[in-house]
Structures are given as structure tokens and as C-alpha cells.
Structure 1
């Protein structure tokens, strides 16, 4: 009976123009050298009359979008994310169209698995819904290809890098998950500063079914020693998390890993969280870290103070797991002490009160966590006179319910 109904429908399996255009790129994507991804996209866009094609990738400081070089791609200077059309597309993850004297400049976000690598910019004589659909799908496909190929090339790294990077920072960036993830129930965004010299700060997260796991760490010291400790701490966290043990046991595993590999006076402060994405139930363990902040209706309503145990590596007792139930729209701000202990313009310590004040100014209903986290980090850096003597890292988590 089911087979008969299928035969009656007699579906049209012929190749449409859109399928042909996407298929041509998809059929060869697996064999494309990384530096040919952009040119292949430019060739595909040309079939719908697109010109002046740019693939713009976010730099490591999250300040500019940098044109990817390649045959058929438009060159140019890095474009600022703040106060620009391409930046608006990037921060909102929505297409932006700008009328020109000779056509329309179309900006489409490069979305990959909830993250956004950058923006595709194309000029067309005119744009209709078919063009918008094709460009959107091309952008999604290319974002996936960029992410896949990024694992075995330095091409995209070199494009995004605005200045030399320390060895410690190279290690830290290689550890990180994507800086942002947006899914129907949750959104996560993080920022590391100084981007080209970060050493001991790091964060990690994973979405496993209906549970989001998140950790933030701050390894003591600077340079390679701190980066090495951070590597061990994140590796131990991932190993324990993937065995599905409880938060308190994750702490004990990380503690043993640091204690066994480093001298007795070496330590890592850490915070491990677990959020039920279907219920809003948030659990966390604090190991000598600044307390997270709960943001509700775009105001900091409380610090998530909790019993703390010793930093990782000092052999603390099994920690107490704290818990709170979130309401839809709640945001959790996690940060390292470098964000609040820096001295403002070489004067007094910046402090948590000023951090809260800036959250109230920047966190608004029309702004996603990626835009808020980025602006908060950059605003605090400017307020302290562009000085960062310690790593300053923040992660913003939103539960959407």
C-alpha cells in the first residue's frame, strides 16, 4: 500500500538549476585544496550573476572581518565589525542588503553548526527570493567546508591572524571549541584576551543530548607553563566529562591530573557547569574561581555564590554541587579574575561592580550573547586603557527554554 502511494506520486528527480549549482560545489568539495574553496564559491556565485565576491573571516581579536585571498575573490582591507554593514550581518546572523548605484550588495552570514565563521558578500544587478535562497544555501555549504578544511591547513589561521601570536597563545587557541554556539534552546559565546598572548585562561563546552557541559579555567602564571597546565586541565575535564561522571567527580579527576604532573605549588582555578536544556536546571562546582553572575531581564540579579573547594591541584575535598533553576531568557556570565582585577587606566582595580554596570548598559533584548560578550570584553579593555597584564576571559550562556 505504501509502495503504491509512492509510485502514484511519481516525484520529479530531475536536477533543477539550484541543485546543479550547489551540487557542482558539493561534488568537488571533498577534494578541494583549502585555498581553492573561495575561488570555487566565486565560480558558483558567478552563475547567478554575482560579482565582487568576498569571503570575510573574523580575526582573533573579534574586531575585524578579513577578506580571504584567492582567484576570483575581491581583495581589500579588513573591515571593522563595529558600525559597519558587514559587521551588522555578522553580529545579528541575518542577511543585510545595501542598494548601490550599479546593483545590490548582499551580505550573508557563514553559519556552521550554530557558530559563525564570517560573512559572504556579493554584488548582484538585482536580487530576488531565488537569489536569496541560493546565496543562503551556498553560504551554509561553504561554512561547513571551511570548518572541515580548517583542521588540516594554516591557510585560514593566517588569514585571521592580525599580528604575531605567542607559542602559549597558539596552544590555547588549538584547545578551544568554537567561540560561539547557537541552538534552539541555548546559546554560548566566549572571548579570550589578550588574543595573541593568552596563556593560562581557557574554556570548553559540549552539548550532549539535552545537557550542556561548560567549564572555565585559569591556570596560574604566564607563558608556556600556564598554557601547559591549561592543556592538562582541559584534557582531564574532557576525559572525565566523556565518561559521564558527576561534577564533583570531574573536579577530583582534574585535581589528580594537575597534582601528578606539576609541582605542589601549581594550581588551576576552575568552574564546571551542567545545564539541562529541557528543564533549565543549572548545577555547578566552584574551585577557587570568581562566582558567575545570573542575568535576568538584562539585569544582574545575583552572583551565584556557592561553597568553594580548593583550586585544582591542591587536593581539595570532594566539592559540593550547587544548583539553581533558570527561567527562559536567563543568562549566566562566567569570567576569570583578570577581567576584574586589572587596574582601570593604571588607577584602582576595575572590580565586579563596574563589570555589572557595563552588563546593564550592553545586555539588551535585541542583542544576542555573541554580540554582548564581544562588546563587554572590548569595552572593559578600553576602560582599562587597552592594558591587559593578565588573561581576561569571559563566557556568556543563555538558556532559551
Structure 2
């Protein structure tokens, strides 16, 4: 006794115009999703883009299924011709996702097992799902588990038993192995059909091949898990980079004092400015310390790269710089040693650096640079960039020679040292716009009470807008006295 809900039996269709409108909207949405998949994420790699592609694929599969069901609804599913109704919904095939003819409706079939006559009715689609020739006939309920995965057989048997004995509806999935060796995932829904006495006369079911859908869902889960793992790793690496940077570059503000009864101290303030993207923790540094011979070391620099590798290389380089400065090595020679250190490091990198040695007795600044912006000198309300001695980027080539320059300073002079990420916002390295903006701060810096207020003025000028790279700035005011 066939169920009135049997999938291959004709049913009264709804109003055709309403279904046509739904089909049109589904087709249009399917095309939009396919365009996103094709144009926005294809060709990219990485956890985030794999997750996007998987979500798009899943959405396409679900829209294909929706379109197929709407096509069946419109056609009314005449006997033995259900597959022809695929013409009612023809989603435009994407170039990267070809589909075979009839592949949509071949994923839905139906069956009814008559318990009184032992007759079994299968739709044509169900034979296709199971990969079973029509002439071999349908499978009985006892034969059905023979094609089901061993670990899924208890689930199928439980569903059938509960349906036949307890009258419970069927709703579950199991995997089958077809005669051609292909594994398919089948979702089965159904219910018992009762006779006049309330006994179970037959069981009907609709079986849907959801293999592609489950594969897409699995791809979404796996890509999402990969993305989350990537994010966890990135977060841990960023945290390690931040902690290492903070250990090496604590917020700096204070005075560099010299020998008792010696010259007035230098007033120094420095600050690290992060990039607009919080993931770009880089290798910028600053440092200021009094050396054993009474001179002062003032330095800023920037290593290429971001993350733990950049900050660890920065810590190594800054440690070597401090050690050589304490040992009395002059700025030009010191740059040569740093260049050799970077060139032979296990993690090759390029870096720019500025190393200054201030003699408080003679009030002279001896300095060398390696592909770095020159110090800016502010005096009597005006500013200028010092003329740079020759010096190429650290790590660029072996045996590089770095010249050394000497600049006399006066009481009240202000030196501004910075890395190029401060004044450059996406322009070329030769762009002087940022430098000109710094020099234009001369009147404001002349009235600043201390070096810390000078740093605040610089941050007010450059710190509010988005910065493509992280940066450091150091303000050094020369103490007064004759």
C-alpha cells in the first residue's frame, strides 16, 4: 500500500507562479555565491581563504539542493520521469565545479517496503544512489545492511526496528559502499504506514545522497579548525613578541647623568609606536645609556620583518650594540661589526640603524648611520636634518665601511631620533613629507618643558592616523650650563 507521501507519486503542485519566483531567486542567489567563490577567494591560500572557499562551496551545494527540490515541486514528479524535471532548475555551472547531467535529482530517491506482501518499491533515483542495476531489483530490509558500513549497521537496524515496532519516524544517516567501490553518505527519513487495525503494514522512506554536502561541511569544519589553530598560533607568537619587546624596550623617560660635578645631564624620552595592525610587532628599537668613560650612547634602529623572529633578532642586535659601545668601540666601527653580525646570523635580515656617542665635556655628537634617517637638530626655534655620513643597510653586503660624522651641540639643543616608520605612511623611502612635518614642529618643541613633552608633540602629529609600520621616536635635550 503505497504511502501518499511516496516520493515518486504525483501530488498536487502549488501555484506555479510562486514556485517559479522561488526558482528564479534561488538561481540568482546561487550565481552570486558562485561569483564570490570564483572572483573573491579562488587563487588565494592560507587558513582564512581556505575557510572562505569551503563556506562558498557548502552554500553552493545547499542552493543546488534547494533548487532541485523546487524543480521537483514545480514538475509534480510524474512516474519514471522525475529526472527530467531537472530542467525546471538549471543553475549555471561554475568553471571550477562541473556537474554531470541529472546529478541534482539523482541524489534523492524513495522506497517502500510492504510487510504484508514482502514487495519492495524503489524509485529510479534510489537505484542510482546505490549504484545498483535496475534488473537486479531492490533490496529488502534484511538485505539493505549488506551495503552499509559495519559501524553504521547498528544505527540503521535501530532506526528500522523502532519504526516497525514502536511506530517512530526514521531520521538518520549511514554510509554505503556501492558495487563500483564508491562510498556515499545517505540520509534516510520515513515513517510506518498503518493498516485499519493500527498495525504496521509497510514502511516508506525518502533517501537522499548527501555525500557532497557532508564533504563540504567537513571541509568547512576542517578549514575553520585550521583557521582557529592558525589564529591561536599567531596570538601566541604575538604575545611572545610583545613580551620580548617590552623586556628589551621598557617605556623610557629620565635623565642620563654623568660624573659627579660634571656637565648637566641629558634629558631623554623615548616611545615605541605600534602599527595600525596589532599583528605587526616589528624589530624597531631605541636605547640610551651612560657609558663607562662618561659618554652617552643614543641609538635607534629598525630590522625587517615582524613577530618573534624580528624581535628576537632585534634583542640580539641591541645586546651586541650595547656591549660594543661599553667596550669603547666608536660608532663607525660599531656599525661595521653589526653589519657582519647580521650577515652571518642564522636568520638573515636587513636593518637600518643610527648610533650616536655624545661627549658631554666637549658637547660633541659623533655618529654613524646605516641606511637610516639622520638626526634632526632643533636650535633656537628652528630645525634641520644633519648631513648623513655614508653607510648602507645592515646585512646588505659584507665588508661595508661606515663613515662617522661629528656635530657640535649647544645647551638647550634638541635632538630628535626616529625610525622611518614614524614619518612615512606608505610613501617611498625618499619621500621627505614626513621629515618636513617633523621640522615644522620646531616652534612647538622650542616651548616644550622637557623631552617627554617633545615626544608628546611628535605623537600628536603622527600618532593618531593609521601607520603602515611600527616606529620609535627619541627626544634628547642637551643640558644647560657653561
Partner Cα distance (1:316, 1:400) in 2? 38
Partner Cα distance (1:350, 1:168) in 2? 31
Note if contact 2:303-2:314 (Cα within 8 Å) is conserved in structure 1.
yes
Q: Show the counterpart of 2:271.
A: 191
SS at match of 1:310: coil
| Among 160, 164, 179, the residue aligned to 2:252 | 179
Q: 5+ unaligned residues in a row in structure 2: which ranges?
A: 1-236, 258-263
Note if contact 2:335-2:369 (Cα within 8 Å) is conserved in structure 1.
no
Partner Cα distance (1:311, 1:330) in 2? 28
| Among 401, 422, 428, the residue aligned to 1:339 | 422
Matched, 1:257 2:341: yes
Note if contact 2:270-2:473 (Cα within 8 Å) is conserved in structure 1.
yes
Q: Show the counterpart of 2:458.
A: 376
Q: 5+ unaligned residues in a row in structure 1: which ranges?
A: 1-163
Q: Show the counterpart of 2:358.
A: 275
Q: How many residues align?
A: 229
Partner Cα distance (1:242, 1:349) in 2? 34
Note if contact 1:310-1:316 (Cα within 8 Å) is conserved in structure 2.
no
Could you tell me how far 1:228 is from its partner in structure 2?
Answer: 2.1
Partner Cα distance (1:206, 1:331) in 2? 17
Could you tell me how far 1:263 is from its partner in structure 2?
Answer: 5.1
| Among 385, 390, 404, the residue aligned to 1:308 | 390
Note if contact 1:281-1:324 (Cα within 8 Å) is conserved in structure 2.
yes
Matched, 1:367 2:449: yes
CA RMSD of aligned residues (A): 2.4
Could you tell me how far 1:296 is from its partner in structure 2?
Answer: 0.3
Q: Show the counterpart of 1:327.
A: 410
Matched, 1:318 2:372: no
SS at match of 1:221: strand
Note if contact 2:269-2:455 (Cα within 8 Å) is conserved in structure 1.
yes
Describe the superposition over 1:217-261 as per-residue Cα deviations: whole angstroms up to 9, x where unpaired. Answer: 100122222212211210110121121122222112212221121
Distance 1:327 1:388, change over 3 A: same
Partner Cα distance (2:443, 2:346) in 1? 42
| Among 341, 351, 369, the residue aligned to 2:434 | 351
Could you tell me how far 1:343 is from its partner in structure 2?
Answer: 4.8
Partner Cα distance (1:332, 1:178) in 2? 18
Partner Cα distance (1:248, 1:214) in 2? 14
Note if contact 1:329-1:399 (Cα within 8 Å) is conserved in structure 2.
yes
Alignment of 1:1-400 (within 5 A): 166-176=239-249, 179-182=252-255, 183=257, 184-194=264-274, 198-208=281-291, 209-262=293-346, 266-300=349-383, 302-314=384-396, 315-343=398-426, 351-357=434-440, 359-382=441-464, 385=465, 387-400=466-479
Note if contact 2:376-2:385 (Cα within 8 Å) is conserved in structure 1.
yes
Describe the superposition over 1:69-119 as per-residue Cα deviations: whole angstroms up to 9, x where unpaired. Answer: xxxxxxxxxxxxxxxxxxxxxxxxxxxxxxxxxxxxxxxxxxxxxxxxxxx
TM-score, scaled to structure 2: 0.44
Partner Cα distance (2:435, 2:420) in 1? 9
Structure with bigger gyration radius: 2
SS at match of 1:235: helix
Note if contact 1:191-1:377 (Cα within 8 Å) is conserved in structure 2.
no
Distance 1:291 1:349, change over 3 A: closer
Note if contact 1:230-1:268 (Cα within 8 Å) is conserved in structure 2.
no
Partner Cα distance (2:284, 2:448) in 1? 30
Partner Cα distance (2:379, 2:442) in 1? 10
